[in-house]
Amino acid sequence: MATLQVRDIDDRLYKLLKSSAKRQNRSISQEVVTIIENHLNSSVNITNSTLEFLSLTGAWKDEKSAEEIVKDIKNSRNQSSRFGANNGIFD
């Protein structure tokens, strides 16, 4: 197995690492290895978080410009009153 030596760790960071290791009943070395493994395993194959999110949301691609899309939305709106009265609240 390879040996990794880390120097010049901030005291605050070392205390956090030590307390985390203690909570997990691990040595500091075991805790560091676990943290590194978890980080590397969680970031595999995610090159761009935005693209990953969009692929999950079902976003669509459209060749129209934003102005054309807004124009289509406005043209599709119904001009009649929603509730049959012209009281200005819902018109």
Please write down the HEC assignment for all residues of the chain: CCCCCCCCCCHHHHHHHHHHHHHCCCCHHHHHHHHHHHHHHHCCCCCCHHHHHHHHHCCCCCCCCHHHHHHHHHHHCCCCCCCCCCCCCCC
Predicted TM-score of the model (pTM): 0.47
Q: What is the mean pLDDT of residues 4-24?
A: 92
Residue 20 to residue 57: CA distance in whole angstroms: 35
Query: What are 22-73's pLDDT values in tens digits?
Result: 999 999 999 999 999 988 887 655 567 777 777 777 666 778 888 898 888 8
- Say which residues have a Cβ less than 8 Å from residue 80's Cβ, sequence separation at least 6: none
pLDDT at 84: 61
Comparison of pLDDT for 55 and 9, the residue scoring more: 9
pLDDT band at 19 (very low <50, low <70, confident <90, very high): very high
Measure CA 38 to chain center.
17
- Say which residues have a Cβ less than 8 Å from residue 30's Cβ, sequence separation at least 6: 21
